[in-house]
């Protein structure tokens, strides 16, 4: 696998312009944690890995790049890299530049001469990679409606923003009631926000439009526009 560029904290670009060549790279899969119990008189082990919250949990992910640096500015290049040694950083590469990783960076100089050096960049990263661009969608909600959201990653937090009212507002302010996990949120002012959890794969949320009359939500025919934003995370 050929890596042409590594980017650290959106500011340090390790590539040909940095007088460097990425010789090799490895992005490992995080190990999953298991919890098993031996039961007297029972063959095998009782697997309780998902017993606490229904999910599998993971250790950190190891990422490593071996880099060759050469040229008259070798000292300056190494000083720049050493500034990040021990820092908690954001990392992405040209191989998968839609996602980034977060973790602690360890800089190790394997060999150093007057005009070149071999450097190993080791990252102890969180298990999940994070999409660099926030996933955003805009919806017009009319009356009672079920909104479907597909999340291709793991469970994450989403934000709904009430961005525009549509239609006649003579009988009070248009409002939106959102039913999420047996709880309700009511949005009725422009830029009102609500946060909620979206699970992996398909999600459905019930939306009810209405009006705010004397500080009470009254369901009625109405329309409004909302924006939904969330960050996808994946293994």
DSSP per-residue codes, the chain:
-----EEETTTEEESGGGTEEEEEEEEPPPPBP--EEE-TT-SSEEE-TTTTTS---B-PEEEEEEEEEESTTHHHHHHHHHTTTT-EEEEEEGGGTTEEEEEEEEEEEEEE-SSEEEEEEEEEE-SSEEESSPEEEEEEEESEEEEEEEESSS-EEEEEEEEEEES--TTSEEEEEEEETTEEEEE-STT-EEEEEE-SEEEEEEEEEEEEETTEEEE-S-EEEEEEEE--EE-
Q: Which of 62, 226, 54 is nearest to 154 (CA)?
A: 54
Q: Give per-residue pLDDT as tens, 21-44.
A: 999 999 999 999 999 999 998 889
CB 103 within 8 A of CB 61: yes
C-alpha 11/C-alpha 118 separation (Å) is 21
- Binning pLDDT at 50, 70 and 90, where does residue 1 land? low
Give the pLDDT confidence score for residue 170 in this predicted structure: 44
For 96-108, the pLDDT digits (tens) are 889 999 999 999 9
Q: What Rg do the C-alpha atoms of the chain give, in angstroms? A: 25
Question: Which pTM was predicted?
Answer: 0.83
The residue ranking higher by pLDDT, 215 or 19, is: 19
Give the pLDDT score at 165.
65
């Amino acid at each position: 696998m050929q890596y042409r560029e590594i980017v650290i904290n959106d500011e340090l670009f390790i590539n040909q312009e940095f007088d460097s060549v990425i010789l090799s790279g490895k992005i490992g899969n995080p190990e999953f944690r298991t919890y098993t119990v031996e039961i007297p008189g029972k063959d095998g082990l009782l697997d309780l890995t998902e017993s606490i919250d229904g999910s599998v949990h993971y250790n950190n992910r190891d990422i490593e790049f071996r880099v060759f640096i050469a040229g008259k500015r070798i000292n300056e290049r190494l000083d720049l890299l050493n500034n990040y040694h021990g820092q908690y950083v954001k990392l992405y590469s040209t191989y998968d530049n839609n996602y980034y990783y977060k973790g602690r960076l360890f800089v190790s100089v394997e060999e150093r001469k007057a005009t070149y050096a071999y450097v190993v960049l080791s990252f102890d990263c969180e298990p999940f990679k994070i999409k660099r661009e926030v996933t955003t969608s805009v919806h017009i909600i009319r009356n009672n409606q079920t909104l479907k959201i597909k999340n291709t990653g793991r469970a994450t937090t989403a934000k709904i923003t009430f961005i525009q009212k549509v239609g006649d507002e003579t009988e009070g302010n248009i409002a939106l009631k959102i039913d999420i996990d047996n709880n309700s949120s009511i949005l009725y002012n422009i830029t009102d926000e609500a946060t909620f959890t979206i699970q992996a794969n398909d999600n459905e949320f019930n939306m009810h439009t209405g009006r705010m009359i004397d500080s009470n939500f009254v369901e009625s025919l109405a329309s409004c526009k909302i924006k939904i934003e969330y960050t996808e995370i994946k293994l």
